[in-house]
C-alpha cells in the first residue's frame, strides 16, 4: 500500500474483522494490551473495538508521555518558572497537565510565569539564542521517539557555548514500563489484568528496533506484534496476536515493517547514549517508582541539566483522590470506571493527565463518544 487512506479502508477492515472472528476460538478469551497511546487513539477513533468479537478485548497501556508524567514533575517545572524566573518551554499538551494546588503550567503562566509552548527542542534552543539575558529551560518529556532531538539540542548548545540553556529531562523508556507491567501484582499474582500479548509501539520501535521486545517474548512467554498507527495496522496486529496465541507461540513479529527493523536507528541510539545515561529510579504516574526506567543527562553535559543548575529537587505528590489515571495506565481500569469521567473531568477541564493528551485513554474515549 502507498497512501495512508489505504490503511483506513472500510472493506479491508471488515475483511480483517471477519478473519479475526473466524480465528478467535469461541472457548477462550484473548486480552491484548496496546502499549502506546497512538494505538489507543486509533482504536477509539476508528471504532476498532466494535469490529472485534466479544472474546477479544483490548487493554490500554501506559504509552502516553503526558499521561505518565507524575504531578511532582509538573510542579518541578512550575517552580523553575515561578521561583527561578526562567523561560520554561515545553510541548503543548504538557501545559495543561494538572499539577498541585489547582495549578498547571498554563495557570502558572497566568500567574506571571514566562512559560511558552514549543513544537520541538530546536525551538527551545532558538529561544535561548534569542534571549541571552534569560535562562531558558526545556521541559523534555517523552519516550524514545523524542529523546534523540533533545540529545541534538544539548549537543548543539554545547557546540555553541550557550550558557543560558538547560533541560529538565523526563525522558522515559518503553521496555522498562513493559517489564513493570509484566511484574505487577495485577498481572503476576492477582490475575486482574489477564494479558495474552502486546501490540508494540510504532514510532518508538523505529528508534529502538524490535530486538528489545524479544526479552518479553522469551522470558514471559508473551507475544509482541509491533504495529503502525492506522486502523488496518492495528487490526492486522490483533489477528497476528490471536494466531500466535492459538499456535502456542510467543514471538516478536513486526507488522510495521515499512518503518521498523530489528536493530532500529543505530545513529539515534548512539546519539542518545552519548548524551544520556540511565536514572537509577524514576517515578511514573500509575507505575510508581520504576528502576532504570528513565534517562538523565551525562556528567559531560551537566551544565545543561536544569536539575543540577537550579538545584530544584523532585518531590513526589499523590494523584487526585478520585482520579483513576494510575489504574488506567496499569491496565486495571477503563476510563468509564472513573466516577469523574465525562462529568467533572473533560478535555476542557482535565482532572488527571489521561484526559489531557489526545493519546490519553480518557481523552480518546471522551472525544470519540466511547462511554460504555
Residues in contact with ligand SF4 by CB under 6 A are 323-325, 328, 335, 338, 340-341, 345, 350-352, 354-355, 362
CA angle 83, 86, 91 (to 5 degrees): 110
Nearer to ligand SF4, 209 or 352 (CB): 352
Question: At its nearest, how many Å lie between ligand SF4 and the CB of residue 78?
Answer: 19
Give the nearest distance from C-beta 351 to ligand SF4 in angstroms. Answer: 4
User: Which residue has the closest beta carbon to ligand SF4?
Assistant: 352
Locate all alpha helices (DSSP H) within 196-335, ordered by sequence.
203-208, 214-220, 231-246, 266-275, 306-310, 325-329
The sheet with strand 56-63 has its strands ordered as 56-63, 30-36, 197-200, 224-226, 252-254
CA dist 174 → 121, 152, 290 (Å): 21, 20, 12
Closest alpha carbon to 298 in 264, 271, 263: 271
Least gap, CB of 317 to ligand SF4 (angstroms): 15
241 or 351: CB nearest ligand SF4: 351
| Grid cell for residue 342 | 465525562
Shortest spacing between CB 354 and ligand SF4, in angstroms? 4
- The residue among 173 and 345 lying less far from ligand SF4, judged by its C-beta, is 345
Q: What is the dihedral of CA 155, 303, 103, 100, to 10 degrees?
A: 120
In the complex with ligand SF4, the residue whose CB is nearer, 97 or 208, is 97
Q: How far is the CB of 324 from ligand SF4 (least distance, A)?
A: 4
Using CA atoms, how far apart are residues 142 and 255, in angstroms rounded to an integer? 23
CB of 349 to ligand SF4, least distance (A): 9
- CB closer to ligand SF4, 98 vs 209: 98
Nearer to ligand SF4, 242 or 332 (CB): 332
Amino acid at each position: 500500500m502507498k497512501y495512508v487512506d489505504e490503511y483506513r479502508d472500510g472493506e479491508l477492515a471488515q475483511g480483517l474483522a471477519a478473519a479475526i472472528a473466524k480465528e478467535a476460538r469461541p472457548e477462550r478469551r484473548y486480552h491484548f494490551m496496546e502499549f502506546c497511546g497512538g494505538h489507543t487513539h486509533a482504536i477509539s477513533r476508528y471504532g476498532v473495538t466494535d469490529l472485534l468479537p466479544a472474546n477479544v478485548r483490548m487493554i490500554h497501556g501506559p504509552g502516553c508521555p503526558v499521561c505518565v508524567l507524575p504531578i511532582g514533575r509538573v510542579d518541578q517545572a512550575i517552580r523553575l518558572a515561578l521561583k527561578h524566573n526562567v523561560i520554561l518551554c515545553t510541548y503543548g499538551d504538557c501545559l495543561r497537565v494538572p499539577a498541585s494546588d489547582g495549578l498547571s503550567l498554563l495557570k502558572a503562566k497566568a500567574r506571571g510565569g514566562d512559560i511558552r509552548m514549543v513544537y520541538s527542542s530546536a525551538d527551545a534552543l532558538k529561544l535561548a539564542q534569542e534571549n541571552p539575558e534569560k535562562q531558558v529551560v526545556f521541559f523534555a518529556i517523552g519516550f524514545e521517539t523524542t529523546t534523540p532531538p533533545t540529545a541534538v539540542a544539548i549537543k548543539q548548545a554545547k557546540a555553541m557555548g550557550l550558557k543560558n540553556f538547560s533541560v529538565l529531562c523526563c525522558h522515559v523508556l518503553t521496555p522498562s514500563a513493559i517489564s513493570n507491567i509484566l511484574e505487577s501484582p495485577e498481572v503476576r499474582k492477582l490475575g486482574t489484568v489477564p494479558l495474552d500479548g502486546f501490540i508494540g509501539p510504532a514510532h518508538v520501535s523505529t528508534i529502538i528496533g524490535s530486538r528489545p521486545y524479544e526479552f518479553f517474548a522469551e522470558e514471559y512467554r508473551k507475544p509482541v506484534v509491533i504495529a503502525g498507527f492506522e486502523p488496518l495496522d492495528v487490526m492486522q496486529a490483533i489477528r497476528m496476536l490471536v494466531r500466535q496465541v492459538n499456535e502456542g507461540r510467543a514471538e516478536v513479529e513486526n507488522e510495521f515493517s515499512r518503518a521498523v527493523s530489528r536493530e532500529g536507528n543505530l545513529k539515534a541510539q548512539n546519539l542518545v547514549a552519548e548524551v544520556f545515561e540511565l536514572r537509577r529510579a524514576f517515578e511514573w504516574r500509575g507505575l510508581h517508582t520504576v528502576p532504570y526506567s528513565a534517562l538523565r543527562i551525562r556528567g559531560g553535559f551537566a551544565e545543561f541539566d536544569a536539575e543540577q543548575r537550579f538545584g530544584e529537587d523532585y518531590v513526589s505528590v499523590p494523584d487526585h483522590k478520585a482520579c483513576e489515571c494510575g489504574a488506567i495506565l496499569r491496565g486495571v481500569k477503563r476510563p468509564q470506571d472513573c466516577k469523574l469521567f465525562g462529568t467533572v473531568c473533560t478535555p476542557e477541564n482535565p482532572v488527571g493527565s489521561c484526559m489531557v493528551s489526545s493519546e490519553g485513554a480518557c481523552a480518546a474515549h471522551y472525544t470519540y463518544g466511547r462511554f460504555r
